[in-house]
Amino acid sequence: MGGMGNRIRLRRGLRAIALLGLVASLAFFLVTFFRVTTAANESIGATAGGDAIVVLGAAQYNGSPSPVFESRLSTAFDLWSSGAAPMIVTTGANQPGDAFTEGFAGYRYLRNRGVSEEDIVVITDGGDTYESLLATRLQLSNTSGIVVLVTDAYHAKRSAEIAKEVGLDPTVVAAGTDTGLSRRIRETVAVAVGEIISFRRLSRLTG
């Protein structure tokens, strides 16, 4: 009888631990979701200054930026024109089969808008945000690392956390206002996992 009672208590204890873990995980997810949403909202209409404006890459088509990428580049151009930073960094590698990199497509767009070649730094190393920002930090190693990141609003929290992890001091300015629920949920998962295992490890796992 005593053995059966012990087993019952053990099962109850394990269920209680499992329930506590589930509640803690849900609470962590909700808090992270709130932080992602807050960062997205704060990035809309934000202004900042620094050593460089860093445009996070997005799709390009035969050397021409996609609408999403063009919106980021246009925002970066406006910031540069207002004197937010002396240079613009365009980032992004190419997908298999692409003749152009995202970074080069961004360079072409900015040159066509009248930005001088000396004010643009092109970074094509890295297939994701972590690798692009790590390469950016190395490129800006002779500066204080204060940067204005230009990306979409839903991506604000993760890009800022990655930038901090690689040694940059970021402020995020959103291009556009799209903070749809599904995107924020995906970003919440990515931010939560990245903060647990580090964004470097997450990049290696998903790269």
Note whether residue 36 is domain-resident: no
Q: What's the pTM value of the predicted model, to 2 decimals? A: 0.89
Q: Distance of CA 113 to CAs 17, 123, 129, Å?
A: 59, 19, 25
Q: What is the pLDDT of residue 5?
A: 64
Contacts of 141 (CB under 8 A, 6+ apart): none
Q: Quick: pLDDT tens for 165-193.
A: 999 999 999 997 666 788 999 999 999 99
Residue 150 belongs to a domain: yes
Which domain CATH number covers 54?
3.40.50.620
- Inside any domain, residue 23: no
Q: What is the pLDDT of residues 26-57, one digit of tens each?
A: 999 999 999 999 999 999 988 888 999 999 99
Closest CA to 168 of 36, 56, 45: 56
Q: Is 119 exposed, middle or buried (0-12, 13-18, 19+ CB in 10 A)?
A: middle
Q: How many structural domains does the chain have?
A: 1
In a domain, 152, yes or no: yes
Q: Does some domain include residue 35?
A: no
Inside any domain, residue 185 = yes
Domain that holds residue 103: 41-206
